[in-house]
Amino acid sequence: MTHEFRVLTLNIHKGFSMSSRRLVLAQIREQLRASRANLVFLQEVVGDNERHRRRHKHWPADTQLEFLADTVWTHHAYGKNAIYQHGHHGNAILSEQPFVAWDNINVSVHHFSQRGFLHGELAGGIHLVCLHLGLLENERKRQTEQLVHYLQHNIDEQAPLIIAGDLNDWRKRCHRRLTEGLGLQEAHEVIHGQCARTYPLIYPVLPMDRIYLRGFKVRHCERLHGAGWRQFSDHCGLMTDLTLKHAI
């Protein structure tokens, strides 16, 4: 079992450019591969969409998740959250190591905002949680409390843990609950003293995307905002290099 991890999180905007006009899945896959990440946390991944399948010539024959994972990340999990008449989308985790278990937890507060978090466990007791919280502050507060309750009752407090995704938490209230209440570290804050500004992509001023951890040493963390990353999504990606402190 490896003790070194490169973790990347990205809201892929359902596979479209920031303007939502161009399908850019191929470019996303190219950049993910080039990152050499062995754990990838993705939000707004489309599981199926009949309308897009009809309209876009290069829509993948399988799911977006399988297209992005290809032969690089042979293990992956998908959590269906938003379900509509013509399809569905949700969170996903791509991993080079196999999952021993995974589950998708529904944390929707309003019928018009379907949300969840995806919990996977790797060999060695390493836990991964991919999440995308709601846009409304009260919604995020309730979802954060659901997350805290779930972690406290389902994951050993000594177990290595990585939580990554789009928190929509520009006021950092959820951030304080996770760091002060659970004692988690945020990777970019450890290295740079503050959470990364990741939204909007064209001029990022709001700290929306995070990587929280427990049981790891942070060696490096960077916001992905170079030329290759500006072709898609409306969020910047975030990537960190971690070393597992000790196996349980």
pLDDT in tens, 162-179: 999 999 999 999 999 999
Interval 26-82: pLDDT, tens: 999 999 999 999 999 999 998 776 777 777 788 788 889 999 998 899 999 999 886
Interval 190-202: pLDDT, tens: 999 999 999 999 8
What superfamily does domain 4-244 belong to in CATH? Endonuclease/exonuclease/phosphatase (3.60.10.10)
pTM of the model: 0.94
Domain boundaries, the chain: 4-244
Q: Token pair 């379900």 is at which residue?
A: 83
Q: In the chain, what percentage of residues exceed pLDDT 90?
A: 73
| Residue 51 or residue 108, greater confidence | 108
Cα distance between residue 192 and residue 107, in whole Å: 31
